[in-house]
Structure 1
Amino acid sequence: MDRVHLNPPPAADVAARADAHAVAPLLNCLLREVAEPHGGPGERQVYRLPGTGRLLRVLGERRPTEPEVWAGGAWQRLDHTELVKLVADELRRHTGLSNHELPAEMIDSRDAVAALLTARARATPPDDPYLRSEQSLLTGHPYHPAPKARGGGPAAAWLPYAPEAHAHFPLTLLAVREDAVVEEGDTSALDTLGEAPPGYRLLPAHPWQLDLVGRELAGAFADGRLLRLGTTGFDAWPTAAIRTLYAPERDLFLKFSLDVRITNDVRRLWRHDLLRLRRTDTAAATAFAALHGPAGWLGDRGYRTADFAFEELAVLLRDGFHDRLLPGTTPLLAAGLVEGFEGSPLAAAEDPAAWWEAYLAQVVPPALAAFADHGVVLEAHLQNTLVAVDADGIPAQALFRDAEGVKLLAEVERAAGWERLVYCLVVNHLVEIAGALAERHPTLDPWPAARRELARHDLPEIPALLSAPTLPGKTNLLLRWTGADGADARYLPLPNPLAGT
């Protein structure tokens, strides 16, 4: 049951908090990808925007706030809407290209945060710390200009399915005529979710996806290829990925298509990804089976869909935690550790140096071993990594997921695969965890321990990683502004904290 508040948060408070959540990642993108440090003393950092020549200053570094622009002989404070206008003007001049879609997404992202803040004030967080960690991401990707955009639709359409609002809901059950079923891998768990009539197979669906593509399915419902059977007798909980749901009663993850742009992509289960799924999942599972240690792989067992709506109705089955977790441990989303949630062991670490060393020892070796020994490039970023902690909150095991994001060295050049791994594991992941720890413990220097852990591994790329002046940083703002494909990663050099140790 939801908890009802007699005194909801004031609108002005919600607006200010929504602005703060939305401003930080947009500034991070602008300062990383476009702005030039301008120097000058003071607690606020000053930058020059090369396209317009304007000066911008901000407070803080890891999550910058309070943007101000120099105008009329004084510093003028910018709210989120004004910052969006400034960024759009800068990017038009900087790139020579116009883009009307991305500024609207930035505004949509900020408005989504406001809706989420209001909804969270009336909702009860899950008791399970794992689910709390998955549903904690109010800011989201710290280096994306519109991390919380929801396709521009009204909040009433998506709030019932939003992890950040602590949503949980039953799945819609469909039946697909047997001659129209397409599946690969082990999909037997789907047949336990309900009972299909003779000549049909069960197909669970995300209710939001059905709302989005319902008109396209009218013919299939009319001619009997598709039937509605009701809903499951249990709830599923949306994870940080939004379209991936966890059903605790069944210990099963279900990943659906969702025809909404979230960060860089429309989140469909694309045909080409599904058709290579068995290959990538098998390679990752083989790599983890050969490891000497507790790390685990949450395998994508298989998928089922309908031939007349292959991508629209696809559902992918992912392993749950059964037989994968060490006894007495609790899995937590790495991205949740960065964002923060009630009960986070990162926030409670009494010995941050020891906690960090334990974290590195669980997360780094399996990612490097999969690459070096099996040619598997894990997408080991914050949202694809779970860290299981023991009763004292100390990291004891890492679990990785998402065969869709796995690359194989048999299909890509080693240098490209290594660059992707360094970005995902070091820049997107370790830099953020280290930053969150150091923010709470200013005397902690996390990089000597990271350097020691990386140096233990005998890969030819490691010496260069530890000595190179820069690391690859993904350019999400410029990717979206220039209309590049969401999977087309482009990198720019960032200062390497490992080399300065």
Structure 2
Amino acid sequence: MDSTAVAALLATEAASEASRAPSDAVADMVGRVLDSRRRVARQVEARRAEHPSGALDFLAGEQSLVLGHPLHPSPASREGLTGESARTCSPELRGEFALSWFAVAAELVDQDSALATPADRVVAEQAPELVVPEGFTAVPAHPWQAGDLVTRPGVGELLDRGALVPLGSAGPQWSPTSSLRTVYRPDAPVMLKLSLGLRITNSRREHLPVELARGIAVHRLLAAGLGADLRAAYPDFDVVRDPAWLAVRGARGLEVVLRDNPFRHGERVSCLAGLTASRPDRPGGRSTLGALFHDLARRDGRETQEVAEEWLARYLDAVIAPVLCLYGAHGLGLEAHQQNTLVVLDESGLPSGGRYRDNQGYYFSAERADALSRWQPGVGRDLGTWCPDAVIDERLGYYVGVNNLLGLVGALGAQRLADDRPGRRAVGLRRHRQPARVITADDPVPVPAGDFHLRPVDPVADAELVRAWMNDPEVARYWNMAWSQRRIVDYLRATAAERDAWIGHLGTEAMSYWEVYRVAADPLARCYPAHPDDLGVHLLIGPAHHRGRGLGHHLLTAVTDAVLAAHPEAAASSPNPTRATHPRSRRSNGPVTPSSAPWTCPTRPPR
């Protein structure tokens, strides 16, 4: 039985159970499945004819969804997109096209911009050769949309009045991204998110006025202080901004959002959906993430299961933690499904940061409005997604929990890269863990020896530095890790998968190594009745000239202040468990201030 017959049977059964199913619902469903199957076959055939590319840049990720959404019955259905347009407008076929343009009477153009330049001027700069009549504004459209617009009655009236004048195609070639309607050029300062009335899978993607307002409102909210607060805690995560828009009154479907383009220099970044998508155009159908895991496993002599655990741990810290922080701490929910989630990769292919994109997918907590109002009073009330937490919990439960995380773990299992143990372990270790607010180079803490700040450990780049410190006899007395560089790399990788690990700097000098960890998962838990929320701190002071001068006390105070600020519910000290058998914790003995916490060796590297 082929896919068409299966679709017909399922659609017939569903229609028979629905009390108000349209009479043509079965034919519609079967038609979309058939359309999708034909497009996927064409896309696979075209991509197999190419030389396989291992590119990990933004556009390569957008063009990776050769099979479409893995859970949709018609993942590549695009009714009405035919002929040459089907090739030029499809990211899976590496299509590109020039924008279509209209000259619109200026009084009909609504716009808003948080940029230094008005939206219409930024748009016009994308096709400087256009000749626009005086009193008119140039407005771009997707080429398919331009052809459809002129057949609409309201637009026809504007055409007849001369208030809307087609100018044809102009400007350079743009590449459609995975949504089809957002277009990208690596040399452009903005991406353009265009209205597109084409029915893609099962919906038409034309901007609503409230969505235009929502995107720029969130940009202003972030610019007012929320963005800086987020960066202080998660310096490698950000929201891709939608800081301007314009629309034509009386011509629904002729709207454009200006989206910031942070991917102009070959950054290694991809939407999560593009990383996990199976690729039948490649040998064995291996996804980009699968190819990356096998490369890492081969390079390091590990199993893909181990690589998966490290990759997932990094992903949770770099991407999921800040998404949850925005909602948990500030009441702003992000619809972070796999296609809206962008993963920044380091040189080895491990997650080092993240981005979220979508001017539609923001939810504002009605119950915690004060958290956002301190930056922008009343934000979100009139934007269509002002919701009780119960509604946001349900939406994020699906988009972040099911679609994003379980979809990622499911893809690893389906592609035989790992079973579900890495996912369960990584999530379990983070259930009571959020990284302490980082003491960054931009916001250091003054101590008697200079300005102190932390940065995340790089297991490869920092291995020699940590190896040298660990092999110092004085340090080895406490840490017992006088190991080779190769073994240090393995240790740092495993550590990064389980806890926060940092390099501490005084000014520009790297001088200490830190771990913030969950006590319940550490041997320290055997020394006292540890609560699941208790956290511990390990400190190694590397250079000998920084030891024995009381500096450790000041550094520990700075870091434990940061830990306690992020985790007021509990914290624990961390001496060598073989040298002190009963460290105090907040929970067992009441509040403990950082300066009075019982560090047994405050100026030596406690372990």
Fold in common (TM above 0.5)? yes
Q: CA deviation at 1:209?
A: 0.7
| Aligned amino acid, residue 269 of structure 2 | P
Please show how residues 361-372 of structure 1 align to structure 2 within 5 Å: 361-372=317-328
| Aligned amino acid, residue 202 of structure 1 | A
Relative to structure 1, the CA distance from residue 273 to residue 162 in structure 2 (aligned partners, 3 Å threshold; closer, same or farther) is same
- Please state whether the residue corresponding to 2:79 is helix, strand or coil: coil
Report the equivalent of 1:429. Answer: 404
Relative to structure 1, the CA distance from residue 453 to residue 263 in structure 2 (aligned partners, 3 Å threshold; closer, same or farther) is farther
- Please state whether the residue corresponding to 1:227 is helix, strand or coil: strand
Please give the alpha-carbon distance, in whole angstroms, between the structure 1 residues aligned to 2:336 and 2:314.
17
Matched, 1:451 2:378: no
Report the equivalent of 2:179. Answer: 241
Mapped contact 2:105–2:136 kept (Cα < 8 A): yes
Q: CA deviation at 1:344?
A: 2.6
List gaps (5 residues or longer) in structure 1.
Answer: 1-77, 459-501
Please give the alpha-carbon distance, in whole angstroms, between the structure 1 residues aligned to 2:30 and 2:354.
37
| Aligned amino acid, residue 452 of structure 1 | L
Report the equivalent of 2:291. Answer: 347
Please give the alpha-carbon distance, in whole angstroms, between the structure 1 residues aligned to 2:418 and 2:331.
38
Relative to structure 1, the CA distance from residue 267 to residue 259 in structure 2 (aligned partners, 3 Å threshold; closer, same or farther) is same
Mapped contact 2:318–2:353 kept (Cα < 8 A): yes
Identity of aligned residues (%): 31
Matched, 1:375 2:340: no
Matched, 1:211 2:188: no
Please show how residues 314-353 of structure 1 align to structure 2 within 5 Å: 314-321=255-262, 329-340=267-278, 344-349=288-293, 350=297, 351-353=307-309
Please show how residues 360-439 of structure 1 align to structure 2 within 5 Å: 360-410=316-366, 411-438=386-413, 439=415
- Please state whether the residue corresponding to 1:312 is helix, strand or coil: coil
- Please state whether the residue corresponding to 2:199 is helix, strand or coil: strand
Q: 1:107 aligns with which of 34, 38, 41?
A: 34
Report the equivalent of 2:110. Answer: 182
Mapped contact 1:149–1:262 kept (Cα < 8 A): yes
- More displaced stretch, 89-98 vs 428-437: 89-98
Matched, 1:166 2:141: no
Report the equivalent of 1:199. Answer: 135
Please give the alpha-carbon distance, in whole angstroms, between the structure 2 residues aligned to 1:356 and 1:346.
13
Mapped contact 2:67–2:278 kept (Cα < 8 A): no
Q: CA deviation at 1:208?
A: 1.1
Report the equivalent of 1:134. Answer: 62
Q: 1:441 aligns with which of 417, 425, 430?
A: 417
Mapped contact 2:240–2:355 kept (Cα < 8 A): yes
Please show how residues 51-90 of structure 1 align to structure 2 within 5 Å: 78-90=1-13
Matched, 1:298 2:240: yes
| Aligned amino acid, residue 37 of structure 2 | R
- CA offsets per residue over residues 144-197 of structure 1, 9 Å max, x none? 222211125545443320111110111123222211111122414213122534
Please give the alpha-carbon distance, in whole angstroms, between the structure 2 residues aligned to 1:305 and 1:152.
24
Q: CA deviation at 1:116?
A: 2.8
- CA offsets per residue over residues 106-138 of structure 1, 9 Å max, x none? 222222223333444567888673212111112
Relative to structure 1, the CA distance from residue 92 to residue 181 in structure 2 (aligned partners, 3 Å threshold; closer, same or farther) is closer
Mapped contact 1:130–1:331 kept (Cα < 8 A): yes
Report the equivalent of 1:71. Answer: none
- CA offsets per residue over residues 21-55 of structure 1, 9 Å max, x none? xxxxxxxxxxxxxxxxxxxxxxxxxxxxxxxxxxx
Please give the alpha-carbon distance, in whole angstroms, between the structure 2 residues aligned to 1:290 and 1:264.
38
Please give the alpha-carbon distance, in whole angstroms, between the structure 1 residues aligned to 2:65 and 2:90.
11
Mapped contact 2:99–2:143 kept (Cα < 8 A): yes
- CA offsets per residue over residues 187-232 of structure 1, 9 Å max, x none? 1421312253422222111111112222234443443322344434
Please give the alpha-carbon distance, in whole angstroms, between the structure 2 residues aligned to 1:129 and 1:354.
22
Mapped contact 2:194–2:255 kept (Cα < 8 A): yes
Please give the alpha-carbon distance, in whole angstroms, between the structure 1 residues aligned to 2:326 and 2:237.
11
Mapped contact 2:61–2:271 kept (Cα < 8 A): yes
- Please state whether the residue corresponding to 1:403 is helix, strand or coil: coil
Q: 2:204 aligns with which of 220, 242, 266?
A: 266
Please give the alpha-carbon distance, in whole angstroms, between the structure 1 residues aligned to 2:46 and 2:147.
21
* Higher RCO (CA 8 Å, separation ≥ 6 residues): 1
- CA offsets per residue over residues 215-252 of structure 1, 9 Å max, x none? 23444344332234443432111111111111212142
Q: CA deviation at 1:329?
A: 4.7
| Root-mean-square deviation (Å) | 2.7
Please give the alpha-carbon distance, in whole angstroms, between the structure 2 residues aligned to 1:283 and 1:143.
34
- More displaced stretch, 126-135 vs 362-371: 126-135
Please give the alpha-carbon distance, in whole angstroms, between the structure 1 residues aligned to 2:209 and 2:419.
49
Relative to structure 1, the CA distance from residue 257 to residue 237 in structure 2 (aligned partners, 3 Å threshold; closer, same or farther) is same
- Please state whether the residue corresponding to 1:308 is helix, strand or coil: coil
Q: CA deviation at 1:426?
A: 1.3
Please give the alpha-carbon distance, in whole angstroms, between the structure 2 residues aligned to 1:161 and 1:221.
26
Q: CA deviation at 1:443?
A: 5.2
- Please state whether the residue corresponding to 2:78 is helix, strand or coil: coil
Please give the alpha-carbon distance, in whole angstroms, between the structure 1 residues aligned to 2:82 and 2:47.
17
Mapped contact 1:364–1:453 kept (Cα < 8 A): no
Mapped contact 2:191–2:259 kept (Cα < 8 A): yes
| Aligned amino acid, residue 208 of structure 1 | W
Relative to structure 1, the CA distance from residue 191 to residue 86 in structure 2 (aligned partners, 3 Å threshold; closer, same or farther) is same
| Aligned amino acid, residue 389 of structure 1 | L
Please give the alpha-carbon distance, in whole angstroms, between the structure 2 residues aligned to 1:422 and 1:282.
27
Q: CA deviation at 1:301?
A: 1.1
- Please state whether the residue corresponding to 1:290 is helix, strand or coil: helix
Mapped contact 1:352–1:444 kept (Cα < 8 A): no
Please give the alpha-carbon distance, in whole angstroms, between the structure 2 residues aligned to 1:420 and 1:265.
19
Relative to structure 1, the CA distance from residue 337 to residue 322 in structure 2 (aligned partners, 3 Å threshold; closer, same or farther) is closer
- More displaced stretch, 284-293 vs 176-185: 284-293
| Aligned amino acid, residue 192 of structure 1 | E
Please give the alpha-carbon distance, in whole angstroms, between the structure 2 residues aligned to 1:163 and 1:138.
9
Aligned residues: 377
Please give the alpha-carbon distance, in whole angstroms, between the structure 2 residues aligned to 1:284 and 1:85.
48
Relative to structure 1, the CA distance from residue 208 to residue 413 in structure 2 (aligned partners, 3 Å threshold; closer, same or farther) is same
Please give the alpha-carbon distance, in whole angstroms, between the structure 1 residues aligned to 2:144 and 2:46.
18
Please give the alpha-carbon distance, in whole angstroms, between the structure 1 residues aligned to 2:190 and 2:274.
20
Q: CA deviation at 1:253?
A: 1.2
Give the structure with higher Rg (CA).
Answer: 2
Report the equivalent of 1:226. Answer: 164
